[in-house]
């Protein structure tokens, strides 16, 4: 099977795999090469795959869509990160969530400054004869 995990702007994973484990709206699924074709919605969580070379790799993903046609498994989602092994997945997710939280704090602060400036300017316009 070939696994293709894509984001809106980049291909995250494109490699041959022996199996794919994924959480969907219909429950947890394991996809193997001879399984039937399927299309489903992926829920946020960890997608696990076993490369043909061996081992296992985890991809932390957001909402998305999975389509299996023949030997191709394609997953498209808005946000995802290859986390590697399970121990690395926890560390990688913690780092990503912390960075995202910091971005949101900065964005809220910038928005508050813009709102305060707008109110100040509107007040100045009202006082002008």
pLDDT tens readout for residues 18-77: 999 999 999 999 999 999 999 999 998 889 999 998 889 999 888 899 999 999 999 999
Distance CA 109, CA 98 (A): 17
At 113, the pLDDT band (50, 70, 90 cuts) reads very high
Distance CA 43, CA 77 (A): 10
Residue 23's H or E segment, with its range, is strand 11-24
Distance CA 25, CA 11 (A): 24
pLDDT at 126: 83
Query: Does position 91 have pLDDT exceeding 80, yes or no?
Result: no
CATH superfamily to which 2-84 belongs:
F0F1 ATP synthase delta/epsilon subunit, N-terminal (2.60.15.10)
DSSP lists the bridge partners of residue 108 as: none
Supply the pTM of this predicted model: 0.70
pLDDT at 2: 96
Query: Does position 97 have pLDDT exceeding 90, yes or no?
Result: no
Distance CA 114, CA 55 (A): 50
């Amino acid at each position: 099977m070939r696994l293709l995990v894509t984001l809106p702007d980049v291909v995250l994973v494109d490699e041959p795999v022996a199996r794919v484990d994924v959480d969907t709206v219909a429950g947890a699924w394991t996809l193997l090469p001879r399984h039937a074709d399927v299309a489903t919605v992926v829920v946020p969580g960890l997608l696990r795959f076993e490369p043909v070379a061996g081992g296992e790799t985890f991809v932390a993903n957001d909402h998305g869509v999975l389509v299996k046609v023949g030997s191709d498994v394609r997953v498209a989602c808005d946000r995802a990160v290859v986390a590697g092994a399970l121990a690395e997945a926890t560390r990688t997710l913690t780092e990503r969530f912390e960075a995202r939280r910091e971005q949101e704090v900065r964005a809220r602060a910038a928005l508050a400054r813009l709102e305060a400036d707008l109110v100040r300017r509107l007040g100045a316009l009202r006082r002008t004869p």
